[in-house]
Structure 1
Amino acid sequence: MIALAAAGTSVAPAKSAPSDVVTFRLVQVGKPGNPSVGIKPFKPGFYKDCKSAPSGKPDCQAVGAVDHTYMIGEVETTVDQYVTFLNTVDPNGTNQYKLWVSYMSSSAWPKYGPINFSHSAASGKHYSIAYPQWANKPIGFVDFISAAHFINSMDNGRILSHSQSQSDGFTVTTYTVKLSPNSETGMYDLRNPKTTRTKTSGFVIPSQDEWIKAAYYDPKGGGKYSYWEYPTGPFDAPKATLLNSSNGDVKNSATQPIAAYSPQGPEFPNGPKGGAKPGTYPEWCPPQAGSDCQTKNPLHLPADKFTANYQASLETVGQALTRSPWGTLDQAGNAVEWTDTIDPILKHTPRVVRRMHGGVSNAKAYQLKIAAIGPQPQSDLIPKNIYPWLGFRIGMIGNPG
């Protein structure tokens, strides 16, 4: 389950919930028919439309327009939720769909491994949270296909309850869903590599435009052309989160706005005031792992290269507390997130390429901006194995009932 906690406290998964049930929170994104804006991928700024954008490569793309009301996860999908999903769809531990990779284990990767696997465990219990501190961190190491299996399990399942509450002036709907063991088909027919949504109502992985609208479009007309530059504010980059080194909880949530990223680069030559210093990253490591945190890794990198290449950790979801115009959390920094949009530029390549968004905890500020759209093969064992910051959040379209 997801339960947002005050900074400095760890959130443990619910003990009484059935083993095939997940609880999560969604916010509604309304005002359908909103205008798009023009962006040039990974270039500064954005434009009223692509006619207003400068010429030259990369080509301008219109993003953010959505013609329907929808819902999106308040925070990213968590390790606790993913473990529940694994034990539901793979009760015998065969790992038929490769939804778990060995690099997820704490023995293979003490610093980043959130989920352990046991061959000898009872049915429905082969997968477990590596250490309690991981429960409410975003799931990483997940390619699009694995995320789509998760969504299909939800879509084939049953909504047990839903209720509304208020958080910081936003209406949040909490859903409790009994997962289904069937995950190959559903909202996405994964027998088709180029699958798109098969239904007009149900759980989804947000599209690129849905993701961008939730993160950047201001229904009150703030920012520029009603869009923000960052999910945390209209114009200025957020400050950086500081983490409890033993559990990954946010220590500086009173400093707003903040996000999990590395404030380095030419945009911040002296570091943002009140945040981390240049060259620092949001870091933590389970104390149960001891010194292996700094040295042991499945890539067999020597300690100095491992430290240089694998800085930054995923923090407890929601604790940065800085909300987007629609009330989402962590769309800036933490895990980079999948969308279900097939890249229109690379749609004819041999591999199916989807769009991603959201920065990441080891990113510079430019990766938090609206123009930071990234293509990624939807099923590629290399990033799936070596990239512990690869996650997703849940979406909902229509009225699943």
Structure 2
Amino acid sequence: MSVCQSKPVVCALLIAGLSLSSVALAQGVHNNQHLRFTQEHGITFSTIGDAGNPAYTYFNINQTASVGRVDYEYRIATTETTVAQYARFVDVYRHFVPQNEAINLAGNSLGWLGNDAAGSPAYAIPSGWESRPAYASFRYFARMANWLHHGAPDLANASHDTFAVGAYDDTVTGTRTPGARVWIPSRDEWVKAAHWDPNRNGPGEGGYWLFPDASDEQLMPGDPAMGGETSAGNAVEWPSEQFRPWDVGSYGDVQTPWGLLDASGGAREWTEDRGSPFNTSRLVLSTGRSPTELTPGDQLYRDRIELFHVDSALASGRYVTARFAMAVPSPGVLGIGGIAVVVLFRRSR
């Protein structure tokens, strides 16, 4: 049996020229008739449809809370931002970044080399880190969103405003501007893409899964070659003597109902949501770990739909990444302008 017979979604994406690492199937992906993937700026996006889905309601600190309702279609990256993708942004922005921020721009992903001959900060990707999640503060991912909003221009076509305005006119407060084309997802947008299944309870009967792999059971930590489902897990939870992968997309068979990878494990992820109205903190979702064995990974239960962390938007030493969201192009734009598009229909059983 050919791959096109056994895995039609994989086949369709290969024909479209998208990465095989982002197309293996999970339970929810088999059933999702809304699946549609596009690729822009080297990033694969899944279109999140089923607008107006109900929210997930839960009990939080003596009151009822809800999360996950989104009343519009949007796109979201199937993987977390990689070090190589972040480095493309940095290679342009380094010519505009204030000198007192030069070392912070490196985050926990790039090596800072001081200034080059022209006086601009210089950076390098550590050997073998190209496909790892990029760790940086919220404000630099917000400036990267602005750069992507303007079409990811090269140095010859960039200016200070390329990074200062666009999706966010203030990359500290992180308030999304009307008409933003690329942005850091809200908590609702992230949760919907990770947990909402439009066919959870049967055809057309949507619902939420507790964990981001179309299941209600905690993911199993471990080497994917040995049946592991996530790179998350603290020192007690992780199987002894098993390899813990670093690269994004390492668990290709573990996906959300919308085809997202690494919604568990990989790294923690920024959202736009404020952690407090009185400071610059942001809500952080998913489980992750630092690139050093000295810092244990998150406990697995933190992958549950209702849980989140809070972290400072300005801190550059945090091991937090982002996966970008993007506006859905108008029908007349699909398939042109360098956008690779494939529409996926429900798989028969």
Q: Mark yes or no: TM-score above 0.5.
A: yes
* Corresponding residue number in structure 2 for 1:151: 145
d(CA) in 2 for partners of 1:228, 1:264: 26
In 1, Cα distance between equivalents of 2:58 and 2:74 = 23
**Per-residue deviation, 1:319:** 1.6
- After TM superposition, the structure 1 = structure 2 runs for residues 2-401 of structure 1, keeping only pairs within 5 Å, are 3=19, 5=21, 22-40=41-59, 57-91=61-95, 95=99, 97-98=101-102, 100=104, 104=108, 114-119=109-114, 121=116, 126-131=122-127, 133-140=128-135, 142-157=136-151, 180-181=158-159, 182-190=162-170, 193-222=172-201, 226-242=207-223, 251-252=225-226, 255=227, 258-262=229-233, 276-277=238-239, 283=244, 315-321=246-252, 322-343=254-275, 346-347=276-277, 349=278, 351-361=279-289, 362-379=297-314, 381=315, 384-385=316-317, 387=318, 389-399=319-329
Alpha-carbon offset, residue 40 of structure 1: 3.8
TM-score by length of 1: 0.63
CA distance in 1, matches of 2:147, 2:98: 17
1:93 shift after superposition = 7.2
3-state SS of 1:26 partner: strand
Indicate conservation of the 8 Å contact 1:202/1:397, yes or no.
yes
CA distance in 2, matches of 1:180, 1:216: 37
**Deviation at residue 200 of structure 1 after TM alignment:** 2.8
Amino acid at match of 1:81: Q
Q: CA deviation at 1:370?
A: 0.5
Percent identity reads 23
What is the aligned partner in structure 2 of residue 298 from structure 1?
none
- Structure-2-length-normalised TM-score: 0.71
Distance 1:179 1:39 in 2: 48
Q: Distance in 1 between matches of 2:64 and 2:149?
A: 35
Q: Deviations over 1:1-59 (max 9, x none)?
A: x95559xxxxxxxxxxxxxx941110110000000011345xxxxxxxxxxxxxxx253
The residue identity in structure 2 corresponding to 1:207 is S
> Which ranges of structure 1 fall in alignment gaps of 5 or more residues?
7-20, 42-56, 105-113, 161-177, 243-249, 266-270, 284-313
Cα distance 1:99–1:62, how it changes in 2: closer, same or farther (>3 A)? farther
Aligned mates of 1:65, 1:391 — CA distance in 2: 23
1:87-126 CA distance string (max 9 Å, x none)? 111137754545735773xxxxxxxxx4112235456882
May I ask how many residue pairs the two structures share in their alignment? 283
Letter of the 1:238 counterpart: L
Distance in 2 (alpha carbons) for counterparts of 1:190 and 1:93:
15
Q: Which consecutive residues of structure 2, in runs of 5 or more, have no partner in the other structure?
A: 1-17, 23-39, 290-296, 334-349
Q: Distance in 1 between matches of 2:183 and 2:52?
A: 20
Q: 1:65 to 1:102 in 2, by over 3 A?
A: closer
C-alpha separation in 2, matches of 1:263 and 1:4: 29
Tell me, yes or no, if the aligned pair for 1:73 and 1:393 is still in contact at 8 Å.
yes
CA separation of 1:206/1:232 partners in 2, compared to 1, >3 Å: closer, same or farther? same
User: Residues of 2 paired with 1:72 and 1:319: CA distance?
Assistant: 19
Contact 2:199 2:206 in 1 (8 A): no
TM-align CA RMSD: 3.2
Q: Structure 1 76/4 Cα, relative in aligned 2: closer, same or farther at 3 Å?
A: farther
- 2-structure distance, mates of 1:88, 1:78: 16
Q: 1:95 to 1:125 in 2, by over 3 A?
A: closer
Q: Which amino acid aligns with 1:146?
A: Y
- Cα deviation 1:137-191 (Å, max 9, x = unaligned): 1001x1211110110111122599xxxxxxxxxxxxxxxxx99452111110126
- Bigger fraction of residues in helix: 2
- Cα distance in 2 for residues equivalent to 1:372 and 1:334: 17
Distance 1:206 1:281 in 2: 33
* In structure 2, distance between residues paired with 1:264 and 1:228: 26
